[in-house]
Every structure is written in C-alpha cells, then in structure tokens.
Amino acid sequence: MKRKTWIVLLLCLCLALMAGCIPKPEADDVKTGKELDEMEILFGSMEEEPTPSPTPLEALYYDYSDYKNILLDTEYKYEEEMGGEYLEYGLCDLDGDGIVELIVKEGTSEADFVWRVYTISETGAKDVGSFGGGHSALYTDAEPGLLCAYGQMGHEEIVRVTYDGQYISVQTLISQDLAEGEEYSKPGSPVTLLPITDPSMIP
C-alpha cells in the first residue's frame, strides 16, 4: 500500500510541476476592446487595405485649355479669307459622359463650311470627325448627340450627329422639299454659338 501511495504522490507532484511551466496571462497583458481600438488608431489596422478602384475619366478634372488653342489656330488659318468673326463654335456633350465636345465651323464660304468636332482625352484635345456646315444651324433635343438642320432654296435636311467615344456618325432624319412659303424646321433648342474670336464659353 505504501508503494502505491508513493507512486500516486509522485504523479501528483509531476502534474503540479508541469502545470507551473505553463505561464498564465497577467492581468496587464489582457487588452480590452477599447485598448485595441486605441492601438488601431495609433498604429493602423492590421487588416489589409483594399486596393482603390481606378478613377474613371469622367471623374477627373478636364483641362479645356486645348479648346482655346484650337480656336486660335482656326482663326489664324482663315483670318485672310474670312476673319475669325465669321466663324463660330459651340459646346455640347454628345455622348453624355460629362465631357463637352467642341464644335467649330471651318471654311471660307457656305459652299465649303464644315463643323469639326473635338473632344478631350487623357492626352488632350483630339479631332473626332466633321460634318457639313453650309446653310446650317445646330440644335439639341432629348436624344443623345445634336441635330444639324440644313436649308437652302426650299429644300431642308435634318441629321443627327452622335459620338460613340471614338468617332462621330451622322444619320439623316429628314430630307424634303418645302411648299412655297413654308418655313424651315427648328427641330430643338438652338445650340449657343459664339465667334471663334470670343473664347469666353470655354470652361
């Protein structure tokens, strides 16, 4: 019996020694939720921050100064034939992306006038196409793009000009002869136009 008693005592002693080797957390080492929040404020969260999404082009600040340079270049190009006060420009967001396109009339007479369209890209202003500008007026309505109405000698034509992000396209909506005395159509709200010598409309 004594031998068994000693064996039991030795086992208890071993268990007690093993238990003493396992350190217990001190009260000062236990962090409360408030302390953890304060540490996160000081040192930042240990969680990995999500990678921000790229900023879309329409959310960036647009530098329209190139539009003013285009007006100056156009004035210089035609100053001997027409003078800048005879050529006009307007602004219109053709595709609804938040960037206003520049529409500039070029040429020397009604026979060769064209409306040239520019937009702003990551590298500056770029030419995206042109459409006829002789005997024309520009309008907007509820649809994307703009309307160009042509009228001469009792014949009228109305086209819609749209922009797909790369180039403009032109679709004929109406082409007809008018009855004697019938007025030309005004298919929408007129686009505000200014002489190319007055850049005050450029943002």
Q: Determine contact, residues 100/109, Cβ cutoff 8 Å.
A: no
Mean pLDDT of the chain: 81
Per-residue pLDDT at 173: 98
At 35-53, the pLDDT tens digits run 555 555 544 544 555 444 4
Per-residue pLDDT at 136: 97
Bridge partners, 102 (sequence order): 91, 118
Q: Alpha-carbon distance 197 to 156, whole Å?
A: 30
Inform me whether the pLDDT recorded for 34 exceeds 70.
no
Domain boundaries, the chain: 63-201
Residue 4 CB neighbours (<10 A)? 8
Six-digit token pair at 2? 């004594």
Least confident of 18-27, 151-160, 168-177: 18-27
Six-digit token pair at 127? 């030419």
* Cα 53 to Cα 43, 45, 49, 96, 99, distances in angstroms: 25, 20, 12, 22, 21
Residue with the two structure tokens 């080797």: 21
What pTM was estimated for this model as a whole?
Answer: 0.69
At 97-151, the pLDDT tens digits run 999 999 999 999 999 999 999 999 988 999 999 999 999 999 999 999 999 999 9
